[in-house]
């Protein structure tokens, strides 16, 4: 019987001296699946991609891609892969067509085959009308589309995308998400996406592994993760208090029915609670401290809530903390301008 798993990871670990960047993780990715590695910066997502793409060797454990061992059969594995790092690897002074031709020549693709491949990829990315325009004149979303199809020149079976919408404006992010979904649908390409953008994981991924401190702490579909986080007796309350104080926040955190309190701005809280009387306890506590409630809303759970439930921390809190050094994939150096 044919194996339906394109990627199999078993007890994979990577240590940098005392730092456990990847800590005994295991997962599988099915052929044609969009699989997400979701978590804050420094969680081990990019290091996992480095290992799977043969750019870094694991300290222990094993992984295979389409049956090939990433260590023993590293050359064969590379033939199967396309990699899009979070750094754009395109040349602004070259046209879209010239960029693809340049990278296609690095792959050693024969001229006739490369001509057709470039034309097909430009069409896939809806960039054919702009093929002779310099990439430096493109919008950010267009440049990222060129960056993605550059990694498709060798017709990979597996595409790794590291933070594909990082730094993009909302419109460009939507553009890239639509392109990624279309690529998966049209080509059946297996994708692994690393991100700390909850909306990317929610919209794009068939399954999501939530990663924190090098470990996978949850793995399922987005819907199942949310469902498991908020049970029948749990509420997520969005609470606006016009005279909110630090003392009020502290008192709410001390309530036995409260699982977490996140202050989103100077007057707005997100409170995760459990129990039949939790709603009343929140109201009574705020009112006992003369709090002026301007609005209350029962929210549907998000992937942010899943992360908070699993780790006790909000992803935004982690991102705003002092960022640890990250192990990023080595890419081609950005060309110096003006030379």
Cα separation, 302 vs 34, in Å, equals 19
Q: For the stretch 47-86, what's the b/e string if a residue is b when 16 or more beta carbons lie within 10 angstroms of its beta carbon?
A: bbbbbbbbbbebeebebbbbebebeebeeebbebbbbbbb
For residue 275, pLDDT over 60 is answered with yes
In this structure, are residues 208 and 221 in contact, taking their beta carbons and an 8 Å threshold? Answer: yes
Residue closest to 220 by CA, chosen among 63, 36, 40:
36
Residue ranges per structural domain of the chain: 5-224, 231-300
Cα separation, 79 vs 97, in Å, equals 23
Candidate from 91-95, 163-167, 250-254 with smallest mean pLDDT: 163-167
CATH architecture of 5-224: 3-Layer(aba) Sandwich (3.40)
- Domain 231-300, CATH: 3.30.70.100
In this structure, are residues 197 and 203 in contact, taking their beta carbons and an 8 Å threshold? Answer: no
Residue closest to 14 by CA, chosen among 323, 313, 326:
326
Global pTM reads 0.77
For residue 212, pLDDT over 60 is answered with yes
Tell me which range, 186-190, 204-208, 335-339, is most confidently predicted by mean pLDDT.
204-208
Candidate from 21-30, 173-182, 242-251, 300-309 with smallest mean pLDDT: 300-309
pLDDT for the residue numbered 247? 93
Q: CB atoms < 10 A from the CB of 203, how many?
A: 16
């Amino acid at each position: 019987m044919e194996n339906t798993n394109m990627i199999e990871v078993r007890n994979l670990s990577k240590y940098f001296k005392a730092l456990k960047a990847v800590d005994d993780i295991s997962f599988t990715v099915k052929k044609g699946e969009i699989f997400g590695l979701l978590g804050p910066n420094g969680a081990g997502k990019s290091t996992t991609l480095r290992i799977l793409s043969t750019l870094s060797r694991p300290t222990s454990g094993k992984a295979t891609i389409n049956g090939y061992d990433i260590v023993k059969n590293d050359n064969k594995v590379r033939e199967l892969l396309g990699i899009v790092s979070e750094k754009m690897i395109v040349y602004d002074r070259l046209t879209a067509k010239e960029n693809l031709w340049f990278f296609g020549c690095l792959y050693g693709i024969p001229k006739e085959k490369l001509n057709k491949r470039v034309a097909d990829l430009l069409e896939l990315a809806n960039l054919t009308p702009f093929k002779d325009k310099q990439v430096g004149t493109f919008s950010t979303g267009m440049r990222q589309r060129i960056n993605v199809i550059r990694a498709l020149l060798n017709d990979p079976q597996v595409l790794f995308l590291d933070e594909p919408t990082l730094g993009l404006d909302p419109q460009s992010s939507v553009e890239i998400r639509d392109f990624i979904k279309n690529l998966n649908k049209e080509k059946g390409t297996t994708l692994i996406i690393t991100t700390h953008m909850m909306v990317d994981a929610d919209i794009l991924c068939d399954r999501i592994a939530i990663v924190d401190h090098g470990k996978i702490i949850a793995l399922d579909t987005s819907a199942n993760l949310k469902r498991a986080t908020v049970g029948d007796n749990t509420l997520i309350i969005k609470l606006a208090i016009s005279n909110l104080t630090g003392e009020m926040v502290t008192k709410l955190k001390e309530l036995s029915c409260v699982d977490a309190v996140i202050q989103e701005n100077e007057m707005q809280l997100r409170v995760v609670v459990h129990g039949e009387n939790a709603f009343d306890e929140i109201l009574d506590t705020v009112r006992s401290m003369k709090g002026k409630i301007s609005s209350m809303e029962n929210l549907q759970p998000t992937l942010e809530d899943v992360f908070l439930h699993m780790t006790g921390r909000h992803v935004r809190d982690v991102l705003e903390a002092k960022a640890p050094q990250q192990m990023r994939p080595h890419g081609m150096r950005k060309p110096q301008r003006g030379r």
